[in-house]
Amino acid sequence: MPQPMEPSLAALPNPALRYFVATRPAFLSVTFVGCLLGLASAAAGGIRLDPALATLTMFFALVAHAGANVINDYYDAISGCDAANTERVFPFTGGSRFIQNGVLTLRATGIFGYALLAAVVPAGLYLTAVSDPGLIWIGLAGLIVGWAYSAPPLKLQSRGLGEFGITAGWLLIVVGSDFVQRSGFSFAPVAAGLGFALLVANVLYINQFPDVKADAQAGKRTVVVRLGVQRARWGYALIALLTYGWVVAMVAAGQLPWPALLSLLAAAASFGALRVLWRHAAEPAQLVPAIKLTILAASLHGLLLAAALVFAR
């Protein structure tokens, strides 16, 4: 049964608005931050940024993320996990509910998701032509990860590999944004981006807790399903520790400037979320503050690190 605030045909009579909202635009912010971090990495390396290329890169990175969101809804509807999810915490978990609430058909959702991913290809080819041929591999890897996270035969999330896919995907966003400006590979965006990508993975990780029963029923063997909610709490802590430990290590190694340590302020949000998760891991309705804090941690970390890179230069 639809919950309050979930989408409905009555609330979305305009088809254009309907399809836009189906992409879950509020959650595209982490991709926006990832692109900013990649651009800051290039600027910190002395590269003069091209505003037109930066805008094109960011726009189509957002389109790719939107496509991955819609594809995820499509395959979660096919598996039945979204329909079975009675403990969802909307809008954070349980999908967009567009299919389940009759706003879009399953077929329309699938076509829309793949169309969004396909729309990225011409832009990627253009950016490759004006930057460097190596960009094609970054873009191709990103599209594969976005598709394989949900789609068969790989279904990374269902095999307990979703966190690796998300980390790789958002690291590629940072590296790709840097690459377009730099016209070449560098370790700099990896140093800047890996911690951020891990925090994005933690957003997807904590969302598995409210969905654990529905995922198990649908055969999705996520990490939380495999470990159970009590043991899986340690996974959240581990990802957060890896994030902030990576930043410290990169500063110590001289790969990041010392002002990058300001990004450690986001740890307050991460460990605030962990406190809530530790107490309420098996109580989906009580996890909303932890989910919000996890999103805040990823965004704040990325923005602080991007600012530190720019001003340290």
Predicted confidence (pLDDT) per residue in 53-99, tens digit: 999 999 999 999 999 999 999 999 999 999 999 999 999 999 999 99
**How many whole angstroms separate alpha carbon 194 and alpha carbon 171?**
6
Tokens standing for residue 75:
């395959």
Region 159-171 average pLDDT: 96
Region 117-132 average pLDDT: 96
Q: How does pLDDT run across 132-157, given as a tens digit for each residue?
A: 999 999 999 999 999 999 999 999 99
- This model's pTM is above 0.75: yes
Instruction: Look at residue 2 and tell me whether its pLDDT is greater than 70.
Output: no
The percent of residues above 90 in pLDDT, for the chain, comes to 98
Instruction: Look at residue 310 and tell me whether its pLDDT is greater than 60.
Output: yes
Alpha carbon 155 to its chain centroid, in Å, reads 16
Q: How does pLDDT run across 104-116, given as a tens digit for each residue?
A: 999 999 999 999 9
pLDDT band with cut points at 50, 70 and 90 for residue 4: low
Distances (CA, A) of 313 to 36, 174, 184, 187, 251: 16, 18, 20, 17, 14
Tokens standing for residue 202:
């933690």
The percent of residues above 70 in pLDDT, for the chain, comes to 99
pLDDT band with cut points at 50, 70 and 90 for residue 313: confident
Tokens standing for residue 3:
């919950």
Instruction: Look at residue 1 and tell me whether its pLDDT is greater than 60.
Output: no
Region 194-216 average pLDDT: 97
**How many whole angstroms separate alpha carbon 219 and alpha carbon 52?**
45
Distances (CA, A) of 99 to 66, 128, 261: 16, 36, 43
Residue 176's nearest CA partner among 222, 134, 229 is 134
Tokens standing for residue 46:
């002395």
pLDDT of residue 81: 93
Mean of per-residue pLDDT scores for the chain? 96
Region 192-204 average pLDDT: 98
pLDDT of residue 312: 87
pLDDT of residue 5: 85
pLDDT of residue 11: 92
Instruction: Look at residue 239 and tell me whether its pLDDT is greater than 60.
Output: yes
pLDDT of residue 3: 64
* Tally of CB atoms within 10 A around 124: 23
pLDDT of residue 218: 92
